A and B are shown apart, each in its own frame.
Chain A
Amino acid sequence: MKLWRQRAKREDARQPLLPGLSAPPPTTRRVLVTPGEQALDLARKRLAFTGVMFAIIFLVIAGRLVDVMAMAEGAGEPGEPHVALTQPGGRPDIVDRNGALLATSLPTTSACAHTRQISDPETAVKQIASILPDLDRKRLLADLRGKRGCVPVRRHLTPNQHDALNRIGIPGLEFLRDERRVYPAGELTAHVVGYTDIDSLGIAGMEKTIDRMRRSDQSPVKLSLDLRLQNVLAREIGQAMQDFAAIGAAGMVMDATSGEILAMVSLPSFDPHRPGDAEDRARFNNVTLGVYEQGSTFKTFTAAMALNSGQVRITDTFETTKPLVIGREVIHDYHPAKHNMTVPEIIMESSNIGTALMAERAGADAQRQFLGRLGMFEAPRIELPETGRPLVPPAPWSRITSATIAFGHGLAVSPLQVVTGTATLANGGSPVTPTLLAKSGKNSADTRDKPVISADTAAKLRAMMRLVVSDGTAKKANVPGYLVGGKTGTADKNIGRQYSSNARRSSFIGVFPLNKPRYIVYAMLDEPKGNKSTYGFATGGWVAAPAVGRIIAEAGPLLGVTPLTPEEEQAAEAAVLRPLGQVILNALHTKTRNDQIATVESAGEN
């Protein structure tokens, strides 16, 4: 500014004075006259303004530089990591309820060959075949000659194969990163976890359900299974299958309060890494997909229905001494009774005649309605794609249909449905939805649905289930310390249109601890044959009930069920049996004494 003023002063000094003026004009002239001077002035002003702007900007930059350099030494905590730290591959792991790994993806390498870059296909194929002996040479040769792009050579190479193929040095051979699904537990959880195809897409079991669920996050899928219980179940049922030369078996452990399935086993099982090598029979899930006539395990449903309807009282007796004739059909008991039985005795000794009469008194409509509420007429809702639709005779049911359904023939359901139905009855009547996904704890008492039976009926049913184990057909399932109850079932198999007398499905469904029912344990054997230790019998009480007893004895401490001392057990049993009434209990005591005098063979029952 000073320079500019000085320059203006000098220019002023050179101007000639206007004629007629005595004194020179003032030295700094503020008024600009000529347009040239005005333009110059404007230019100088603009230059100054721009200069000031730049100066400000550079000052700001300098200040920020100083700021960043000097202040950044004590920078705070580091920010978020820039790499998204996810698992290799996008498919989530499957774990059991305790976190044990059931399925995971491992990174592998796959080889493909660029057709354009391989000049000599025959040599290349020969070299590759020397490393991979089971290579399809003809197909690869045809591909290398005909196709374009990168043709697949082998999926999921082992690291040694990868190394060897790399060393050959074929220029067109490319190695891509791939992933492959592995199942650490193997055939122990094969039916529940399922398997995938070569591209890691689920095609059976929970693997398929995960794809259907299309979850957004990659956190592990937590199943309700407990791997330890699964092992116990598989071991005991496998042992029973071997001991009695059965052709198949099924087992389940369910939490009756929450519906979580703690163990599910179907034998024979298969290796999920090679599902194609397994037989169809091995991949068939006997628990959820197979529908069978369940036999006497259905009698608990009939008894609950009859008592709940009010048509039948616990002290009612039925004529069980003679076979029941309905039209052309005759219903027998496995062990014909010598006296008319009360309702508890019918369940305890598993009488077909008595159950049919109970159902008749309650009515076929009430029976159908009740079984529908228990979920016997639809395929079970569970997170596996392999579920079987039950075979149900069309309504209205004739007298013989109603009678046979009462003791478990004439209607085919899957074992899962029987276990779910028994769980519903055992926990006091609140409907149970089976699930294979772990539930987060405390919301198991979700009693929004109306109970299926009254509390009084539930108590009487529990008492009858205890009688089956303490004095009835399933004495071998008893475990001291746990109050075990349940129902045996032996269903003759259909061969064509006839019932075979030599082939049966023997099962036992157990509930424990009965003072506070929590867990259901189920075991079924397909075509067991009696051996010496069972005196040739192969009914539920002889082959399935002992296995369930052993499972409960080992699973109880694992599940954290506190065993009762002998005194506590006696008191608890008395409390459980009290709803039957004193009359019945007295009669039972007499009967038990008489039975003890009689032969041991009364333990084998339908």
Chain B
Amino acid sequence: MIRKSTLFWCVLALGSSAILYHTSYRVQALQSELGEVNAQIASEQERIHVLNAEWAYLTTPARIQKLAARHLPTQAPAKTYQVVSMAELTKQLPPRPDLAPAQPQIMAQATAKTAPVRVAAVEPAPAPVPVPARKTPQITAPRPATAKPIAIAALSRPATPPGTQAQPIAYRMAANTDQIGALINALDAGR
């Protein structure tokens, strides 16, 4: 006759051994998976190493120089006069058209190396003109009729009558590059 206590302990032993072996097999499976993953990592590292070496071959200065000569013929190594400090930069830039045009002293300080900058012959505006705070030049900047208008005739936009609030034109990336070219030419001509 099997006593209850014996039965209880037997069942407990069987249960715990089942759990033990289950855990053991799970650990073994995980370990083998870990080994596989580590091997994959090692082989990936080796591939990265080989690719690094190939990259180094492809970016040797001699090869880059040849490619640059073929595809970027207009670019050359930087010359010394292309490197300037910020103070020098402000001296050499053309003036901003949305500022008051009385900037002749800056022109006088320009060094001989810079191209002569044409000063727009604009008389001081008699009436206060609502100039927006935006840096980009306005196409429809309202100018009083007495001042010489900035020549942006390439763009067919009617000049707004003086006094009215000018609506800033939202700049859209023109699909037609001719428009951008014309705009730049016009802005250059107006300086």
Contacts and interface: CB of A to CB of B under 8 A. Distances in A.
A556 interface: yes
Contacts of B113: 566
Contacts of B57: 184
A106 B47 CA distance: 10
A87 B45 contact: yes
Interface string A9-45: 0000000000000000000000000000000000000
A565 B53 contact: no
Contact of B65 (A58, A61, A81, A231): A231
B60 A188 contact: yes
B46 interface: yes
Interface stretch (A314-322, A329-337, A421-429, A479-487): A479-487
Interface in B16-74: 16, 19-20, 23, 34, 38, 41-42, 45-46, 49-50, 52-53, 55-57, 59-62, 65
Contact of B42 (A68, A83, A563, A565): A83
A107 interface: yes
A58 B111 CA distance: 95
A393 B56 CA distance: 47
B52 A104 contact: yes
B80 A557 contact: yes
A104 B53 contact: yes
A562 B61 CA distance: 24
A100 interface: yes
Contacts of B46: 88, 107
Contact of B61 (A82, A106, A182, A231): A231
| Count class of interface residues, chain B | 35 or more
A186 interface: yes
B60 A185 contact: yes
Interface stretch (B81-89, B121-129, B159-167, B173-181): B81-89
Contact of B111 (A62, A106, A479, A566): A566
A334 B122 CA distance: 64
A191 B34 CA distance: 45
Interface string A462-503: 000000000000000001111000000000000000000000
A227 B61 contact: yes
A101 B46 CA distance: 16
A132 interface: no
Interface of B: 12, 16, 19-20, 23, 34, 38, 41-42, 45-46, 49-50, 52-53, 55-57, 59-62, 65, 77-85, 88, 111, 113
- For the complex of A and B, the 6 pairs showing the least CB-CB separation, nearest first, are A231-B61, A184-B56, A481-B80, A101-B56, A83-B38, A563-B80
Given A62-B12, A184-B57, 7 more contacts: A104-B53, A185-B61, A188-B60, A479-B80, A556-B80, A557-B83, A563-B80
